[in-house]
Amino acid sequence: MTDITTGRRSLRRRRLPGILLLVVALAGAACSRSDDNADNATANGAADEGGASGEPIRIGVPGAFSGPSGPLGEAVERGLELKANEINEAGGLLDGRPIELVYRDHEANPDKGITNMRELLEREQVVALVGETSSGVALAEAPIVNQAGIPWVITVSTGTLVTEQPDPNAVYRVSLVDKDQTEVALAAATEQYDDIALLTDTSGYGQGGLTDLLAAMEEQGIEPVANETYAVGDTDMTPQVSSIQASGADVIINWGLGPEAAQIRRAMDQVGLNIPMIGSWGLSMPNYMELAGELAEGTFVVQAFSFDQDDPQVAEVRGAYEAEFGTDRVSFPNGVANSYDGLGLLAAAIEEAGSTDPEAITEALGTVSYDGLIKDYQQPWADSREALGSDDMFLTVIEQGDFVRVEG
C-alpha cells in the first residue's frame, strides 16, 4: 500500500531537472518585469480654467506616476497642479499665458525615462521641465536635457549626484538632497550616541544614502558598529535586527521606505531591541505610520516641511489641497511642497526672463527669488544647484501619530 500522506510514490526523475531549469529561467524573466502598461498619459494642466487665455506655456513633467514609486509621483502632480491653478487663475504668466503641464510617466524605469524625455523635448517642444521622482532615472535623462539646453527643476529625487552634471548643466533642484539629509540624521545620532548601526535597503535609493552616510562618518572618524542591508519587499527583518542587537548599537540610522521600515520596527519589537531609529524623509510618507501602527511612535524622521504650522500661505495651500483633491490626507507633504515651490521658482524665472526662450529662462534661474511654502528663497541658485540645504532641514519625531519638530 502506498498513499500520498506518507509519500511512498516517487516523482518522475527525468522530468524534474528540465522543469526546474525552465522555472528558474522564467522566474528570472518574471523578476525583471517589463513595465509597459499604463503608458504616458495624465496630461492636462488647468490650461482652460480661470483667467489666462493666451497661448499656453508648455512645461514638461517627467516622473514615476504609477508603479511602486507612484505615491512620489502623486505628490509631484498635486504640488504642481496647485501652483499651476493658482498662477492660471491669477491670469497666467507673461500677460495672460496659462501654464500647461505635460506629464510623462516612466514608472521608475530609466529606459522609459529616456524615451519619454526625448518625446517631451522633441515632439512636445516644452520650454522647461519640472518634477522627477527617481534619482536613477534622472541620471539617465540628464545628458539629453543638458544637450537640449532646456532648464529642469527637479522636485523630489534626492540622489546627491543628480545635479552634479558636466557643463552645460541644465539641472536645478528643490529637494532634500541625500548628502544633506544624511548629515542631519548623523548629527542627530552622534549628538547623543556613540554606537551607530546602519540599516539600508539594497535599492539605488538606500545604497546612495549608505554611501553618503559612510563618507560622512569617515570624515568624522566614526565607524558604524553594524552595517546591515535588506531588499525592498523583504518581510522578515529579525536576522538583521538581531545582528544589530548583537553589535551593541544604541541607535539605528535607516535609509529606505515605509513598508520595510515598518517591518524593521516589528522585528525590533519582537527581539526586544529598544533603541531609537532615525530615518530619511521617505518615512514621512503615511504608509510607514499606517503599516507600523503604534510601533512607529518615537521614530525620528528628517524633513524640511510640515503643513502643521501657523503660516497663512501654508494654510491657504492646505485648504486648496483639500478642496482640489477631496481629502485631508496629504500623502507626502514634503514632496508636495517641493513641487509647489519648484514650479513657483520656475514661473518667477519665466516672468523675470520676459519670454519662454529656454536660454533666457536658464539665465533668470540664476538670479530668481521667490517666497515659497518651505522658505523665502533668495537667489537660491546664484552659486549652487540646490535650493534647499541641510540648514533648511530639521528632525521630527512621531508622537501619537503626528510629526513633532524636535527642537535642538
Partner 1 sequence: MLQVLASGVALGSIYALVALGFSMTWVTTQTLNFAQGELVMVGAFVGLVLHVDRGWPLLAAALASIVIVALLAVVIQQVAVAPFAKGVTSIGWILSTVAVSIMLRNLGELAWGREARRFPSPVGESLVETVGIRLQPQQLLIMAALVVIVGLLSVFLGRSLWGKALEAVAQNRDAAALAGIPPAVIAALAYAISGGLAAAAGILLAPVTFVSAHMGLSLVIKSFAVAVVAGLASFRGIVLAGIAFGMAEALVARYLGPEYRDIFGLVLIVAVLAVRPTGIFGIRKVVKV
| Residues in region 361-390 near partner 1 by CB under 8 A | none
Instruction: Give Cα separations from 111 to 72, 116, 229, 402 (angstroms).
Output: 19, 9, 27, 38
The only residue of 119, 234, 250, 352 in contact with partner 1, by rule CB under 8 A = 234
| Residues in region 295-334 near partner 1 by CB under 8 A | none
Q: Does 240 bind partner 1 (CB under 8 A)?
A: yes
The answer to whether the beta carbons of residues 144 and 123 sit under 8 Å apart is no
C-alpha cell of 212? 553618503
What is the contact mask toward partner 1 in residues 202 to 231, using x (rule: CB under 8 A)? x-------------------------xxxx
Q: Does 164 bind partner 1 (CB under 8 A)?
A: no
CB of 200 to partner 1, least distance (A): 11
Q: Does 23 bind partner 1 (CB under 8 A)?
A: yes
CB of 258 to partner 1, least distance (A): 8
Piece in contact with partner 1 (CB under 8 A), picked from 29-37, 158-166, 314-322, 364-372:
29-37
Closer by beta carbon to partner 1, 19 or else 315: 19
| Residues in region 61-120 near partner 1 by CB under 8 A | 66-68, 70-71
The only residue of 272, 312, 326, 408 in contact with partner 1, by rule CB under 8 A = 272
Instruction: Report d(CA 246, CA 68) in Å as an integer.
Output: 33
Q: What is the DSSP letter of 392?
A: G
Piece in contact with partner 1 (CB under 8 A), picked from 39-47, 53-61, 133-141, 265-273:
265-273
CB of 271 to partner 1, least distance (A): 5
CB of 279 to partner 1, least distance (A): 17
Instruction: Report d(CA 341, CA 349) in Å as an integer.
Output: 12
Burial 202-233 (b: 16+ CB within 10 A, else e): ebbbbebbbbbbbebbeeeeeebbbbbbbeee
Q: What is the residue-wise DSSP string for 257-268? A: -HHHHHHHHHHH
Piece in contact with partner 1 (CB under 8 A), picked from 28-36, 84-92, 96-104, 338-346:
28-36
Instruction: Report d(CA 32, CA 10) in Å as an integer.
Output: 34
Size of the site for partner 1 (CB under 8 A): 60
- Tell me which residue of 54, 130, 126, 43 sits closest to 88, measured CA to CA: 54
Please report, to the nearest 10 degrees, the dihedral formed by the alpha carbons of residues 382, 386, 389, 393 taken in order. 130
Which single residue is written with the C-alpha cell 506655456? 57
Residue length, the chain?
A: 408
Q: Which residues bind partner 1 (CB under 8 A)?
A: 2-13, 15-20, 22-24, 26-27, 30-31, 33, 37, 66-68, 70-71, 202, 228-231, 233-236, 238-240, 242-243, 258-259, 262-263, 266-267, 269-272, 287, 290-291, 293
